[in-house]
A = this chain, B = another copy of it.
Amino acid sequence: MPRAATSDEPQRSEKWKARRNEIVDTSARVFARGGYHATGIVELCAANGLGKGAFYHYIESKEELLAAIHDRVMDEVMVGADRVSQASGSPSAQLAMLGDELLDVIHRYPDHVWVFLHEFPALTAERAQQFRVRRRQYEQRVEAVLQAGIDSGEFRAVDPRLTALAWLGMHNYTYLWLKPGGRVSARDAAKPFADIFIRGIAT
C-alpha cells in the first residue's frame, strides 16, 4: 500500500503523477535490459524523451527512481496476497491462489520484477531495510498457509520455512521467461506449478 505523503513533500498535479508513473515504467524496462548501474541518466532521459532538467523535475535521484520500481512490485504482490487472505479456502486452495496472484504480477511487470530481484543491493541501507521487512512479510504469508495445511492434516510435516523458500524459488524464477505476449500465460504456468507442489507436500 502507498504510504501517506509527509508534509515536506510538495503537492503535485495529477498530470505530474501520471507522467512520473510513465517514467518509472519506462525506466524499469531500460534497467531490466542493461542493469541499474550500467544505465546512465542520459540513457534514461533519451528513453523517456526528456532532457536532464525535465527528467529531474520528476525524480529526486536515480536511486529514488529505483526505489519507486521496488515499491510498485511490493505493492502489487501484497495486494494479491490480501485478495487470497480474504477469499478464504482450504490451505491447498490458498496456496494455488497465491501462486496465481504471484505469477500474474510477474507476468504483468516482468521488467519491474527483474529490477526488484537484481538491483536490491543498489538501494541505500535505509531503503533496503524497508523492503527487506515487506519481503519478509510476504514470505510469512506463504509459511502461514503451509503451517495451516500441516495443522489441518492436509500437508505432511514439512519444514514450513524451507518449503516456503522452495515454493518462492519455483515461482519467482519465472521472471526469466514469463513475459506479456509470450507463449505461456501466468495461468498456464501457475496450474502445473500448483499441481506439482501440492502433490509434493500432500499427506
Contact = CB atoms under 8 A, between A and B. Distances in A.
Interface in A57-114: none
A202 B166 CA distance: 18
A37 interface: yes
B37 A35 contact: yes
A146 to B, nearest CB: 11
A45 B104 CA distance: 44
A189 B38 CA distance: 35
Interface residues of A, number: 37
A201 B193 CA distance: 10
A125 to B, nearest CB: 12
Interface string A110-145: 000000001101100000000000000000000000
Given A173-B168, A177-B165, A196 B37 contact: no
A61 to B, nearest CB: 15
A29 to B, nearest CB: 13
A53 interface: no
Contacts of A118: 118
B169 A174 contact: yes
Contacts of A195: 200
Contacts of A37: 35-38
Interface string A34-45: 111110000000
Contacts of A162: 184, 189, 192
A38 B121 CA distance: 9
Interface in A158-203: 158-159, 162-163, 165-174, 177, 184, 189, 192-193, 195-202
Contact of A192 (B158, B193, B198): B158
12 contacts: A36-B37, A37-B38, A158-B192, A159-B192, A162-B184, A166-B192, A168-B173, A169-B171, A169-B173, A196-B200, A197-B200, A198-B200
